[in-house]
Chain A
Amino acid sequence: MENLIGQGRLAIDMIVDPDSFREGVVGTLQLTDEEFGPGAVVGTASLDGAICTIIANDAMTINQKFPVVYAGIIGLEEGYKMALAVYHSIEADRDRAPGEKRALVLIVDTPGNGAGKLEEMAGMNKATGAYQMALAEARKAGHPIVAIVVGRAISGGFLCHGLQADHVLSLSAAFNTMIHVMPLTSIARITRLDIEWLQELAKSNPVFAAGPDFFYRLGGVEELVDSIPAMRDRVIAHIAEVRALKAAGREDQLGPWGRGTLGEVRGGRTVRGRVMQTMNEEFAKVADRYLK
């Protein structure tokens, strides 16, 4: 097998304990309508013996109600369905101690959010926003969230499903994983910059080039995984690592903020920190005037 593009369901089976995945069930959530957001697969599984919530993409479906939603695209129903799975995970573990909250594993293979007129009329921005807000809430409530890119993680789709995790892993480029906002050809057309020149620049500049290696350098991906069978162990290891950091009160090393710091350490995003520091220093001089 060369890659897992379009194989979200297979990836679930490869990561969780054998035959442990129960689709449509998370805490008191019981989804029975197979036509509801079919591009999003949610459910409960056991991972290394511990209960966890699985949220994945199914690229082999078409949403009959929304013609622009197919091939793993996250549409209105898919976004809200994913959010439901997160809220029900939080609800199910509400009375558990922070260290005992179930992990959420996000298996990522999406080309983006639903792009259509009905989507915009109904407010696609709310569906994808709702899922991200739910993930951020779960993360801060103590749930370890680990995302692994097994196929495509494109632009708003990746923001929606992936980048709110505590840690983000990706199969390496050898497995044809795609992480980008737009392919270079589209960037060239829209910015009216020469494609060959862009390709040359992209070799050394991670800030606009496509691919998991560049996201790694920017701190957008914590770890590249270099074999499909290794995915399971790496996800288990990262859940443990995330749990340990949360227990130690080191949330600042996790999630989007942690990846901001990582981007600086890896030399991919060096001005971000300087900008923030400048603002903080300038504010410190006038803070008394405003906070009295």
Chain B
Amino acid sequence: MSSDWETLQNRSFLESNARARAIGLADPGTFTELAGPRCRLSSPHLPLLGEAVEFDDGIVTGVGRHGSRPLFIASQEGRFVGGSVGEVHGAKLVNIVRMAHQAYDRMLAETPELPEERRPAVVISFETGGVRLHEANAGLLAHAELMDQFQDCKGKVPVIGIIGGRVGCFGGMGFVAAATDAIIMSPFGRLGLTGPEVIEEEMGKDEFDASDRALVYRVTGGKHKYIMGDCNLLVEDTIAAFRQGLGKVLAMSYAEIDRLRRIGSLDKVKAQLRTLAALVEIAPRDSRDVWTFAGNPAAETLVDMKLDDFLRTVKRLENAS
């Protein structure tokens, strides 16, 4: 078991499947999958449309440990209908977050002096385009439930988002990710609300040329999100690196984790509005204009820079945590 776990650690996060990521993010040998494929809880809606199902509906949910904490884990599988959220997929995701704050309540009832480092935590590996169109209405409603559950975690349980899969994190899940306490990305991770293809389709190629992969990464990729402060930690593309990033966040006090959040309070909204006003002022045509504005005169060189060098030299926007 443990040696399998060891080999997982050095694997590319991008290339791994959702289950390997979930197992690898937890402490060795501690991951227990809940409502796994053996339960055969597949989508009842896809077959009506003549589509294939998966027995886990494209998401791995379970519980593991991270040091002294119980870790509630959800990991979306981009290779199944783009990691999209249907009724079953959504229910698993919503419930894993709910289980975490309920576990906290239970632990607190048993141990009123529960130390912070024993509190449960939630980690979600986002790899999704958002709502699954084949069961769009149910998927949409699950998004709202997730935002609701996050609010129930506030002040109790840290919720950490991880984005390093091939599909990125788009659609409604883009704002679900934005509502987590901390976001960890690799340079290959992508985060946004409206995907480049959709923008091109709705607004035309002049607005966004989705076939320009370099542009797509400059606008939605991990490095840009790090400069913006929209992701808190940027890590290499291995399961071990994401796990170390997770460890770094979970080693902080809850108050420190709370400060990592980009939105979620009046002060943070005001700070976002200040950044927005500054961006309107410089009217960026490309993310490189934003990077220059943030204090990186040789913006172009950041694109291909190795992560170590990037992290050492890059200047982030003023509000970036």
Question: B residues within 8 A CB of A113?
Answer: 193-194
Chain A 235-259 interface mask (CB, 8 Å, partner B; 1/0): 0000000000000000000011101
Size bin of chain A's contact surface: 35 or more
Decide yes or no whether A137 CB sits under 8 A from chain B. Answer: yes
Q: Are A122 and B275 in contact (CB under 8 A)?
A: yes
- B182-224 contacts to A (CB < 8 Å): 191-194, 196, 198-199, 202-203, 207-208, 219-220, 224
Number of B positions contacting A (CB below 8 A):
93
Whole-angstrom CA separation of A195 from B316 in the bound complex: 48
Q: Are A276 and B203 in contact (CB under 8 A)?
A: no
Q: Are A208 and B145 in contact (CB under 8 A)?
A: no
Question: A residues within 8 A CB of B107?
Answer: 291
CB of A123 to closest CB in B, whole Å: 5
Q: Are B32 and A136 in contact (CB under 8 A)?
A: no
Q: Are B87 and A136 in contact (CB under 8 A)?
A: no
Question: B residues within 8 A CB of A39?
Answer: none
Q: Are A276 and B91 in contact (CB under 8 A)?
A: yes
B interface majority secondary structure: helix
Determine the residue in chain A with the shortest Cβ distance to B42: A271
Q: Are A208 and B92 in contact (CB under 8 A)?
A: no
Given the contacts A159-B144, A260-B141, A287 and B103 also touching, CB distance less than 8 Å: yes
Decide yes or no whether A115 CB sits under 8 A from chain B. Answer: yes
Whole-angstrom CA separation of A287 from B139 in the bound complex: 29
> Which residues of A does B touch, CB under 8 Å?
65, 68, 76-77, 80, 83-84, 87-88, 91, 113-130, 132-134, 136-137, 139-140, 155-156, 158-160, 163-164, 180-182, 187, 190-191, 193, 198, 201, 205-209, 214-215, 218-220, 255-257, 259-260, 263, 268-276, 278-280, 282-283, 286-287, 290-291
Question: What are 21 of the A-B contact pairs (CB < 8 Å)?
Answer: A84-B269, A116-B194, A117-B199, A119-B194, A120-B192, A125-B191, A129-B147, A129-B176, A130-B269, A132-B144, A133-B151, A163-B141, A205-B48, A208-B134, A209-B137, A219-B141, A256-B145, A271-B44, A276-B98, A283-B99, A290-B103
